[in-house]
A and B are shown apart, each in its own frame.
Chain A
Amino acid sequence: MSKNIKDNQGDVWEVFVQSKPGLPHKHAGSLHATDKEMALQNARDLYTRRNEGTCIWVVPLNAITSSMPEDSESFFDPSDDKAYRHPTHYIMPEGAKHI
């Protein structure tokens, strides 16, 4: 069962750090680890040495699904002409306040 393991550095994990309660977790970087506890500890030692964090998420790289560059036109360009989703699209009567 556990034979034939080739020496390596473990899997790549992506690290997300929340710098303050209330703020979103932000991508900090990546690291190698063999399991989630080690990934968490390594993330703590690597990415929070200067008071950068109050919470850490670690995610195995292979669990992340990314859109591809060739998706980008069909994914993102269609929203270009939909300015009505932004508040500046609307004309407000002169003098109207708090809206």
Chain B
Amino acid sequence: MEDAKKLEEFQAKIDAEIKIEPKDWMPEDYRKHLQRQISQHAHSEVIGMQPEGNWISRAPSLRAKVVLLAKIQDEAGHGQYLYSAAETLGKSRDEYIEELQSEKAKYSSIFNYPTLTWADMGAVGWLVDGAAIVNQVSLQRTSYGPYARAMVRICKEESFHQRQGYEIIAHMAQGTPEQKAMAQDALNRFWWPSIMMFGPHDSDSPNTGNATLWKIKRETNDELRQKFIDKTVGQAEIIGLTIPDPDLKWNEARGHYDFGKMDWDEFWNVVKGNGPCNKQRLEHHKKAHKEGKWVREAALTYAQKQKEKQMVA
């Protein structure tokens, strides 16, 4: 049984906005919640490299190519920062990767959708990164020190990501009729999955538990989703694209946009593995990991040989 006094002290620290650090006492549920959330976040960054990586070789200009490549590289870096934060909770990166590959751990479902045209690079940067940023900005104030620090660093680096996407889609929306059609099509396909990235309605969110009490989560799914929608509508209008939701309209009384019903049936199906790319994304990750095994072993063996040589000398 966990010591009631320790729990009380822990909660007092949280309430006083004092960050929890790796060596501090924490309730087991807090630790588990963070392990799950941070690793899921890390997996999302890493799996998220694939749908965008799909277009690096075909980027239509050298400028577009380096920008996209730099952005995907940042995502690898963000995955790395997040795994590091998650490792401070007493599980190794290898264990987290094993959980991903054995499907014990999840990643953001948005990456199970395919990127079909170059306009999707616009939509992904604008909407998917845009949604992620809303969430990440909020997480900069999360109660666990290493997670908050990773988020601060990530938010700083992410600042160009959404602009990169918006620039692409804005340019296409003003381009030839074919480009404009591609841009609208990308928005049509990515809009609903993007706003579902924030997760189920607060009323049916299974993992919330103490996350709010412990200030792991600082704002609810619905609050974050509303924030994202409110700031995105105008961005679509200004470039002449139409958000595919006939129920979308400004609600003067609420001071927010009202929007239509999300298809949670599709959402849960994609979470459960029935999205267009779930299998492909995981297979890709497993293959790369497997193909890297001999390389990692060589580096480990070399290091050990060097150590042995030093001990003899």
Number of interface residues of B (CB under 8 A): 29
Partner of A35, one of B23, B93, B153, B299: B299
A1-39 vs B, Cβ < 8 Å mask (1 yes, 0 no): 110010111101000000000000000011110110010
Interface residue? A74 (CB, 8 A): no
Interface residue? A99 (CB, 8 A): no
Q: Is the CB of B300 within 8 A of A10?
A: yes
Stretch binding the partner chain, chosen from B45-53, B79-87, B172-180:
B79-87
Partner of B297, one of A1, A7, A35: A7
Q: Is the CB of A8 within 8 A of B296?
A: yes
B278-298 vs A, Cβ < 8 Å mask (1 yes, 0 no): 000000000000000100110
Q: Is the CB of A9 within 8 A of B93?
A: yes
Interface residue? A95 (CB, 8 A): no
Q: Is the CB of B302 within 8 A of A34?
A: yes
Q: Which of chain A's residues has its CB closest to B308's CB?
A: A1
Name A's interface SS.
Answer: loop
Partner of A12, one of B87, B157, B302, B306: B87
- A32 neighbours in B (Cβ, 8 Å): 93
Interface residue? A55 (CB, 8 A): no
Q: Which of chain B's residues has its CB closest to A32's CB?
A: B93
Q: Is the CB of A69 within 8 A of B25?
A: yes
Q: Is the CB of A5 within 8 A of B300?
A: yes
- B299 neighbours in A (Cβ, 8 Å): 10, 34-35, 38
- A38 neighbours in B (Cβ, 8 Å): 299
Q: Is the CB of A7 within 8 A of B77?
A: no
Partner of B293, one of A7, A30, A34: A7
Q: Is the CB of B23 within 8 A of A69?
A: yes
A2-B305 contact, Cβ under 8 Å, with A8-B300, A46-B77, A46-B80: yes
Name the 8 nearest CB pairs between A and B, nearest first: A34-B299, A35-B303, A34-B303, A30-B84, A2-B301, A5-B300, A69-B24, A2-B304
What are 28 of the A-B contact pairs (CB < 8 Å)? A1-B304, A1-B305, A2-B304, A2-B308, A5-B297, A5-B300, A5-B304, A7-B297, A7-B300, A8-B92, A8-B94, A8-B296, A8-B300, A9-B93, A10-B296, A10-B303, A12-B84, A29-B81, A29-B84, A29-B150, A29-B153, A31-B80, A32-B93, A34-B299, A35-B299, A46-B80, A49-B77, A50-B157
Instruction: Using A34-B299, A68-B23, A69-B25 as known contacts, list a sample of 5 further A-B pairs with CB atoms less than 8 Å apart, ordered by residue number in A.
Output: A7-B297, A29-B150, A32-B93, A50-B157, A66-B23
The residues of A with any CB-CB pair to B shorter than 8 Å are 1-2, 5, 7-10, 12, 29-32, 34-35, 38, 46, 49-50, 66, 68-69
